[in-house]
Amino acid sequence: MLYLWLKALHIVSVVCWFAGLFYLPRLFVYHAQSEDSISQERFSVMERKLYRGIMGPAMIATLIFGGALISLNPGAYFGQGGWMHAKLTLVVLLIGYHHMCGAQVKRFARGENTRSHVFYRWFNEVPVVILLAIVILVVVRPF
């Protein structure tokens, strides 16, 4: 029963984390397009609250619950091919993306953004590709 609770909490954490990973770069798009100081300040506040209040805790919860699942039965995850190694590699890349978002939140807050809204539209697609790959690895387990 513990395993099922951990799995449910892991999935909820992942959903919350990805919600932030999808929305924050969208805020960057709008922030990069904004020209008045009121809008820029509003976007900075929204970005900071999303990053610190939702994304950070959700990422930590995802890692804790995922690690707990693995610790309960490591053979089930690592003894059946390399899919888990590939998934964990993607998770590490996702953590890097998360921190890149955090660095960008700080740049916007200081008024130092040098990138266009078009860059952020493409930047927003990175977590989509990673999520697609992770779901395929977990469900299909191709190797």
User: Per the annotation, does 106 bind a ligand?
Assistant: no
Q: Which of 66, 68, 51 is nearest to 17 (CA)?
A: 51
Q: How far, rounded to the nearest angstrom, does the alpha carbon of residue 76 sit from its chain's CA centroid?
A: 25
CB 113 within 8 A of CB 31: yes
User: Per the annotation, does 10 bind a ligand?
Assistant: yes
Contacts 24+ apart (CB under 8 A), 41-46: 43/108, 44/105, 44/108, 44/109
| DSSP conformational letter for 111 | T
The tally of CA atoms less than 13 A away on the side-chain side of residue 41 is 3
Binding residues for heme: 10, 87
Binding residues: 10, 87
